[in-house]
Amino acid sequence: MPPRHRPYTGRVHSGPTTTLADVDRVARGLWPLSGAEAWDAPGLLVGDPAARVSRIRLAVDAVLETADEAVAAGDDLLLVHHPLLLRGVTAVAEDRGKGAVIARLIRSGCGLIAAHTNADVVGSGTSAVLAERLGLQGIEPIAAGADGGTGLGRVGDLPASISLGDLARRLAELLPATATGIRGSGEWDAPIRRVAVCAGAGDSLLAHPAVLGADAYVTRDLRHHPASEARENARLGGGPALLDTSHWASEWLWLEVAAAELRAALPDVAVTVSDLRTDPWDFAVTQ
């Protein structure tokens, strides 16, 4: 079952006259750009705002595979989580990945919109979806926004205590499979009740009081030194066990919720979710 969420009520007249500008307006209603971090670059990235849209495809990443999939399906818009032009770009030559993606989309008349940190912080955002799918109760943001309901990450309680190993297994069953799977730091049998989660790279929240007060912290992209320091601090003064997952897999769960919100706002537009795995790792050798 998809996570519960507050539906967006800004429905627009859709169908043959729905334009890319209409979809962009709906996206801004669902995931306000005011919620984006200052360094982020979400919003309309490619396409003519006056172009008509009847088919939308959602994916985590705008890469060659997802662009080709959207073009082959005749989609008018690829809506992704990760902005393609997040870092400074001085050329879009087609012998580079970003240039090739942009060129293929433009030639095929397929637009590109990104909803990134502005989609992380909302009540039906990436971390909230993961927290609900894990069965957490009393969910609240780790770092709350001014309204108290939005913010980075989520923290809540499991209905009953389980072991860290069982929580890792639950994540493995919930998330799509990747080469790197789930990495854990902590005792396998450690009891876990309160869980903090952060979709995307979450080491910036390792020292947050809400994370330190949890029994386990589920996030991704944990680097050696921040993870090592958190582990040592936990041994000395208490702190959460760590579960590190695939960045792509944890955010992929959000796509179906986002698709449902778009379908509600644009009932005559076909909205599909890409099943392509865009996690960058193809295999792992365990020792």
pLDDT (tens digit per residue) in 103-118 = 999 999 999 999 999 9
**For residue 225, what is the enclosing H or E element?**
helix 224-237
Closest CA to 85 of 62, 65, 103: 62
Both tokens assigned to 11: 């429905």
Residue 231, number of CB atoms within 10 A of its CB: 15
What's the pLDDT at 13? 45
Percent of the chain with pLDDT over 90: 85
**Band (8; pLDDT cuts 50, 70, 90):** very low
Q: How far apart are CA 139 and CA 269, in angstroms?
A: 32
Closest CA to 152 of 41, 36, 33: 36
What's the pLDDT at 89? 83
Do the Cβ atoms of 131 and 158 come closer than 8 Å?
A: no
Please report the domains of the chain, with CATH numbers, ordered by start residue: 20-115+251-273 (3.40.1390.30), 120-248 (3.40.1390.30)
Averaged confidence pLDDT in the chain: 92
254: pLDDT strictly greater than 50: yes
- Supply the angle between the helices 97-107 and 64-73 in degrees, to the nearest 10: 10
- pTM of the predicted model, to two decimals? 0.90
pLDDT (mean) for 255-261:
98
Give the number of C-alpha atoms closer than 13 A to the C-alpha of residue 115, restricted to the C-beta side: 29
pLDDT (mean) for 158-165:
98
